[in-house]
């Protein structure tokens, strides 16, 4: 698709069209020269063409009340400005709601089309305007097969999978803590069951009655055993409390932020039942938002509360360990005293702490103790069954989560591998093909000064001469202005050729604003010769009479200077 004509009724400033509309009609495929002296409106005309196609301008405030029409081959006319955007495409008229879609579908993507407009200012040239990383994206856009879109889509899928994995890991961590609690409970229940079973067995076999007789004959022995058993029980309670304190002290040794994230693994959303994953929590905390609900509420209070607790707990772990050691030593001593008494009096060897308590509480009523032990044993068995089932359920849930996490990780890895493959193989091949095309055009447009161009994967452009000397495009001062212009021009020609070959664009026009102003006569000559040899349509603005002569083949539009010196004098 090429430009066949345009009409600028109004654009940017009234002086531009004070002498009537700027228009050109009936161009077939040939180049267009827009010539005029300084201040004749050449750059405005360049911008008006860009505006008509994309609604954008380069380095110009376009203002209001514009009216520009562009006629393209393939029966496509685009009007933009007041009273509104409209399109005539293949015999039909369309309003603003469809216009952009039609331009994109029939001509090509906005980004690619925009690259076809080269402004006279160096810093507005395409390679200057594009960040390094987007240079490669633009080349990939031109290669048509939506590679960059596919990579972006895959990267989004990888991110979603990662977020899902983190949510499942949070749930798994929560379930793991729950499992450990259940295991502790089960261990307690088993111990209770064993003790009640022993009491029941002692009562049933008559051995508890014998022990009772011993105690009744020797109350001092009973008192000693009772006291030691009570002390042991109290020590076990103290040990458990100290262990809890130690667990908390260890929890508090972590960074406050980590403690909050661990708590978040427990909370579930009351609406969707999901958990907040680590990545989300981190990002919300970084933004000073609540890590759970993402509101910009003050979370400092929660930090302060934990910091205060941390401060209190600091250095206490050692003290707790020392106290635990003392309690355990005392428990062992008490245990040893109980064992000594049992050795001295073998008839009470089978006695356990529960039996001691029951003899006291039931005042040696063996039948009462037997009934209680039977009841408690049955309760403990029921609890054992119930808690074993709970443990099995949580273990099954953990196994299910592990399976899901593995499955998600495999999916993520497979997608990541696909991204790597696309990036490493397809991208490399495409960049290498493009580099070859670019070098080819660059060598021909400027045979006297051309060096080898290398376009790196990160978008860096390096020129290497025959002696191996490297110069970087982005290092100011490495390249002459003429080289910058010709590199940009050859880049856009290559991009256009690649995009046309791949079918990702239907646009064969490159619009240049004073492209040769920084070139000496020899370079201009070579460049113009090369442009003339191409099938691409060039629309050039120029105030250079040499260029006017050289482009005698082109359709010419002459612009008049919009101001005279007398405009600025009193008369």
Contact footprint for another protein (CB under 8 A)? 174, 177-178, 248, 251, 259-260, 262-268, 270-271, 273, 302, 305-306, 309
- Cβ closest to another protein, residue 312 vs residue 558: 312
CB of 195 to another protein, least distance (A): 24
At closest approach, how far in Å is the CB of 299 from another protein?
A: 11
- Measured CA to CA, the distance from residue 66 to residue 60 in angstroms comes to 13
Q: What is the nearest approach in angstroms of another protein to the Cβ of residue 271?
A: 5
* Minimum CB–partner distance for residue 306 and another protein (Å): 7
Element at 472 (helix H, strand E): strand 470-472
- Cβ closer to another protein: 170 or 405? 170
For residues 325-359, one letter each, b for 16 or more C-beta atoms within 10 angstroms of the residue's C-beta and e for the rest, the string is: eebeeebeebeebbeebeeebeebebbbbbbbbbb
Q: Which is nearer to another protein, 257 or 418 (CB)?
A: 257
Residue 95, CA distances (Å) to 11, 86, 107, 109, 266 in order: 21, 5, 17, 19, 54
Q: Which two tokens stand for residue 405?
A: 């996490």
How far apart, in whole angstroms, are the C-alpha atoms of residue 73 and residue 28? 8
Nearest distance, CB of residue 263 and another protein, angstroms: 4
Closer residue to another protein in complex, CB, 267/563: 267
Indicate the residue among 51 and 292 with the shorter CB distance to another protein.
292
Residue corresponding to tokens 């109290």: 234
The helix/strand/coil state of 231 is helix
Q: How far is the CB of 341 from another protein (least distance, A)?
A: 37
Nearest distance from C-beta of residue 183 to another protein, angstroms: 16
Q: Which is nearer to another protein, 204 or 258 (by Cβ)? A: 258
Q: 153 Cβ partners below 8 Å, 6+ apart?
A: none
**What is the C-alpha separation between 369 and 196, in angstroms, rounded?**
10
Q: For residues 229 and 409, what is the distance between their CA atoms, to the nearest angstrom?
A: 54
| Pairwise CA distance, residues 66 & 58, whole Å | 16
Q: Retrieve residue 207's tokens.
A: 């051995």
Nearer to another protein, 175 or 331 (CB): 175
- End-to-end Cα distance, the chain: 49
Give whichever of 263 and 285 is closer to another protein, judged by the CB atom: 263
Minimum distance of another protein from residue 383's CB (angstroms): 16
């Amino acid at each position: 698709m090429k430009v066949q004509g345009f009409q600028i009724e109004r654009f940017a400033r009234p002086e531009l069209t004070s002498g009537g509309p700027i228009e050109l009609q009936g161009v077939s495929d040939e180049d267009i020269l827009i010539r005029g002296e300084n201040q004749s409106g050449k750059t405005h005309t360049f911008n008006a063409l860009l505006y008509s196609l994309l609604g954008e301008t380069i380095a110009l405030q376009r203002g209001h009340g514009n009216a520009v029409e562009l006629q393209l081959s393939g029966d496509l006319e685009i009007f933009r400005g007041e009273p509104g955007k409209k399109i005539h495409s293949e015999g039909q008229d369309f309003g603003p709601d469809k216009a952009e879609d039609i331009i994109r579908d029939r001509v090509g993507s906005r980004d690619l089309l925009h690259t076809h407009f080269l402004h006279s200012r160096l810093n507005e040239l395409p390679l200057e305007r594009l960040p390094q990383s987007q240079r490669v994206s633009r080349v990939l856009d031109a290669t048509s097969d939506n590679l960059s879109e596919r990579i972006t889509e895959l990267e989004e899928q990888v991110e979603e999978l990662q977020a899902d994995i983190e949510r499942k890991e949070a749930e798994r961590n929560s379930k793991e803590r729950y499992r450990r609690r259940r295991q502790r409970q089960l261990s307690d229940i088993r111990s209770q069951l064993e003790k009640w079973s022993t009491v029941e067995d002692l009562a049933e076999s008559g051995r508890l009655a014998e022990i009772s007789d011993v105690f009744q004959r020797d109350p001092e022995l009973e008192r000693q055993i009772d006291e030691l058993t009570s002390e042991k029980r109290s020590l076990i309670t103290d040990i458990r409390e100290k262990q809890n304190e130690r667990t908390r002290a260890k929890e508090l040794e972590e960074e406050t932020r980590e403690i909050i994230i661990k708590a978040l693994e427990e909370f579930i959303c009351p609406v969707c039942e999901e958990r907040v994953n680590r990545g989300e929590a981190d990002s919300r905390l970084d933004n000073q938002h609540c890590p759970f609900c993402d509101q910009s509420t003050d979370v400092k209070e929660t930090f302060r509360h934990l910091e205060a607790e941390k401060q209190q707990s600091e250095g206490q772990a050692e003290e707790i360990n020392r106290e635990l050691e003392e309690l355990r030593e005392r428990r062992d001593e008490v245990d040893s005293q109980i064992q000594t008494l049992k050795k001295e009096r073998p008839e009470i060897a089978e006695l356990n702490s529960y039996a001691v308590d029951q003899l006291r509480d039931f005042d040696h009523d063996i039948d009462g103790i037997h009934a209680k032990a039977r009841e408690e044993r049955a309760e403990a068995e029921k609890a054992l069954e119930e808690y074993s089932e709970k443990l099995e359920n949580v273990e099954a849930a953990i196994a299910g989560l592990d399976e899901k996490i593995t499955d998600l990780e495999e999916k993520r890895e497979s997608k990541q591998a696909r991204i790597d493959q696309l990036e490493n193989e397809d991208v490399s091949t495409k960049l290498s093909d493009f580099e070859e095309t670019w070098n080819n055009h660059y060598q021909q447009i400027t045979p006297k000064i051309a060096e080898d161009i290398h376009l790196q994967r990160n978008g860096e452009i390096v020129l290497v001469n025959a002696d191996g000397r490297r110069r970087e495009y982005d290092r100011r001062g490495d390249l002459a202005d003429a080289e910058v212009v010709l590199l940009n021009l050859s880049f856009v020609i290559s991009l256009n050729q690649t995009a046309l070959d791949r079918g990702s664009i239907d646009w064969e026009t490159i619009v240049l604003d004073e492209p040769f102003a920084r070139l000496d006569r020899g370079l201009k000559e070579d460049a113009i010769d090369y442009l003339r040899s191409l099938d691409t349509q060039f629309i050039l603005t120029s105030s250079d009479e040499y260029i006017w002569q050289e482009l005698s083949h082109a359709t010419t539009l002459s612009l008049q200077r919009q101001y005279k010196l007398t405009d600025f004098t009193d008369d």
